[in-house]
Amino acid sequence: MEVYTTKGGNTDSGPILVLAHGAGAPADSPFMIRLAESLAAQGVTTVRFEFPYMARRRKDGKKRPPDRQPKLLEHYEQVIAEVMAGSLSGRPLFIGGKSMGGRMASLLAADPRLEGRFNGVVCFGYPFHPPGKMDRWRIDHFPAVCCPVLVVQGTRDPFGKPDEVSERVASFKRLQLSWLEGGNHDFLPLAKQPESQEELIQQAAESAASFMGMH
């Protein structure tokens, strides 16, 4: 299993974040690389990996849809086990990801078998619902999560904007929201904004590092 490790900080005591990619882009997409580097600057070591369908695409170049949810979760759980058994073991462990990857991490956090395995979950651009489909919310598992969850979300994200999300998730006491003003699903700002995408990703990394520092 190939992983991409981006080390953060000058010590061996900082947090580890197992970071899964989204549905359409690989672990070494420009977004994922920038995010990992920004997290490293905050002292967070990231471990990126690819789900089986994306690994196959890398080999043959053929685009394919994500594997079914059970297979995604099984693979993610295997990655967590490998990290816990490797040289990074013993440090605070968090799981998370971009969009679909973050959703899979949050589903693992709702699995009672895995309680105590990790300190928290960090989701970057959570797919609360498909764009324009307000009848298909993906939040039923949040009441069952066994650890704190941070969602860093752009205010223009079609998968969940502030006025759609905030009230609906207010009862989930373990869920914390951090909004990136003007960001879309990939944290791209409005053209008129002074901030760049890189700066919004930096803001996301800072929010994530602060969250991990508290848990």
Gap between the Cα atoms of 192 and 150, Å rounded? 28
Q: How crowded is the C-beta side of 32, counted as CA atoms within 13 Å?
A: 28
Specify whether the CB–CB gap between 149 and 173 falls below 8 A: no
Beta strands in the chain (DSSP E): 3-6, 16-20, 45-49, 93-98, 120-124, 149-154, 175-180
Gap between the Cα atoms of 167 and 56, Å rounded? 40
Gap between the Cα atoms of 38 and 108, Å rounded? 25
Nearest to 5 by CA among 44, 31, 59: 44
**Angle at CA 35, nearest 5°, toward 1 and 62?**
50
Print pLDDT tens along the chain (215 aa): 568 888 887 667 899 999 999 999 999 999 999 999 999 999 999 999 999 999 999 889 898 899 999 999 999 999 999 999 988 888 999 999 999 999 999 999 999 999 999 999 999 999 999 999 999 999 999 999 999 999 999 999 999 999 999 999 999 999 999 999 999 999 999 999 999 999 999 999 999 999 999 99
Domains defined along the chain, listed by start: 3-214 (3.40.50.1820)
Gap between the Cα atoms of 150 and 164, Å rounded? 17
Specify whether the CB–CB gap between 73 and 109 falls below 8 A: no
Gap between the Cα atoms of 14 and 27, Å rounded? 22
Residues in the chain: 215
Q: What share of the chain is helix, strand, coil (3-state, %, to 5)?
A: 35, 15, 45
